[in-house]
Amino acid sequence: MNLREIGEFGFIEELKKIYQYNNFDIIKGIGDDCAVFINEKNTAVLLTTDMLVENVHFEISTLSPKELGFKSLSVNLSDIAAMGGIPKNVLVSLAIPEKIDYEFLKDFYYGMDELINEYNMNLIGGDTNFSRSDLIINIVMTGEVEKDEVIYRNGAKINDKIFVTGYLGDSSLGLDVCLRKLKLDKYNENYFRNVHIKPKAQIKEGSVIAKSKLANSMIDISDGLASDLMHICCQSGVGAVIFENQIPYSEFMKNVFNQKNINPLDYALYGGEDFCLLFTVSPENKKKLCEIFQSHVNTNLFEIGEVIQGNRIELVDKSGDRKVLSKSGYRHF
């Protein structure tokens, strides 16, 4: 069996069967946005890692070294946000091809510094090595959260309402702009490119949701709404229905799909890298959580669906018809 047949998450499920934990300090291992363990202060420590490979996850021709540094770190920050945590420490490992010079690396770290300083993190180490062809970036990050505030993927309950914390589809449309697959006027092009190149991890939003202790499950949208909602459903043993007319789009997206006659739904469902948060909350608690979120973050939450019995995700389209969604989003294999 090749990796395309089993897929990234099928491979992860096989690893989960093999590796069990012999340390009672470990609360969560393989299968969530972060591993979680308890430290000597009885606080939950979050640990996450992400690898970015040139010509798989990024193309050097489409962004500056500083932008690449910023985005590389923001991807990891989003995993910390998805568990309700605050980032603390970061390690950066690079496999560097000959074409990358010192000035490139210096600007790359300047890009990361913007976020390291914003969140008062510590760069505490890493590794460097030689690559024969492509630049490879691997980042490890730690965070902290009170142990009774951690939000996992596997807590969704039937009748929960499904919310997102931001607009969907802008980043994947921005990728098409960067790759010159879609030509826009300069104003719109700059907006979509910036959303894709400089994603904003929702650390504050995740922390507010976690501290409320009202959400039952949460994940960040990195691979697309359909794929990431399926992660919650699979790990919670539930299904979901989402409503097309409730999916939130930015005014920029609305303007572009009117001008270009494109379908924003595919960007929202399958595009990925929006890095907003997707969470579920009981009907009884949704109003209170929305009020808490509004008072602390001063932005709205968007209700897009509900958790149902079953093992599939259904979409109710604008005409009221239902169809089962595929879980395909970004695929590593």
Give counts: helices (H), strands (E), the chain.
Answer: 10, 13
Contact 268, 225 (CB under 8 A): yes
Residue 45 CA to residue 90 CA, distance in Å, equals 13
Structure confidence at residue 47 as a pLDDT band (50, 70, 90): very high
| Tokens 């920050």, located at residue | 77
| Tokens 């608690």, located at residue | 285
Alpha carbons within 13 angstroms on the beta-carbon side of residue 323 total: 9
Q: Which two tokens stand for residue 54?
A: 């040139």
Residue 161 CA to residue 284 CA, distance in Å, equals 10
Task: Please state, as a whole number, how many other Cβ atoms lie within 10 Å of the Cβ of residue 219.
Answer: 27
210 and 318 share a domain? yes
Average pLDDT, the chain: 91
Structure confidence at residue 77 as a pLDDT band (50, 70, 90): very high
275 and 310 share a domain? yes
Pick the closest to residue 139 from 184, 186, 74 (CA basis): 74
Contact 142, 77 (CB under 8 A): no
Q: What is the mean pLDDT of residues 171-184?
A: 94
- 56 belongs to a structural domain: yes
For 116-180, give the DSSP string: HHHTT-EEEEEEEEE-SSS-EEEEEEEEEE-TTT---GGG--TTPEEEESS--SHHHHHHHHHTT
204 and 140 share a domain? no
Largest CA distance in the chain: 58
Could you read off the pLDDT of 83-122 as tens digits, one per residue? 999 999 999 999 999 999 999 999 999 999 999 999 999 9
112 and 164 share a domain? no
Could you read off the pLDDT of 11-35 as tens digits, one per residue? 666 666 666 666 667 777 667 778 8
185 and 132 share a domain? no
Structure confidence at residue 329 as a pLDDT band (50, 70, 90): very low
Dihedral sign for Cα atoms in the order 193, 194, 196, 198:
positive
pLDDT score of 26: 75
- 319 belongs to a structural domain: yes
pTM of the model: 0.90
User: Sheet containing 215-220: which strands, arranged edge to edge?
Assistant: 215-220, 277-281, 161-164, 302-308, 239-243, 313-316, 322-324
- 7 belongs to a structural domain: no
**Domain holding 308: CATH number?**
3.90.650.10
137 and 197 share a domain? no
Residue 198 CA to residue 176 CA, distance in Å, equals 15
pLDDT score of 285: 98
Could you read off the pLDDT of 261-281 as tens digits, one per residue? 888 999 999 999 999 999 999
Structure confidence at residue 170 as a pLDDT band (50, 70, 90): very high
pLDDT score of 332: 45
158 and 256 share a domain? yes
160 and 308 share a domain? yes
Could you read off the pLDDT of 216-269 as tens digits, one per residue? 999 999 999 999 999 999 999 999 999 999 999 999 999 998 888 888 999 999
- 20 belongs to a structural domain: no
| Domain extent at residue 93 | 32-145
pLDDT score of 109: 97
pLDDT at 331 over 60: no
What's the number of domains the chain is made of? 2
**Phi–psi pair at 184, nearest 5 degrees:** -125, 170
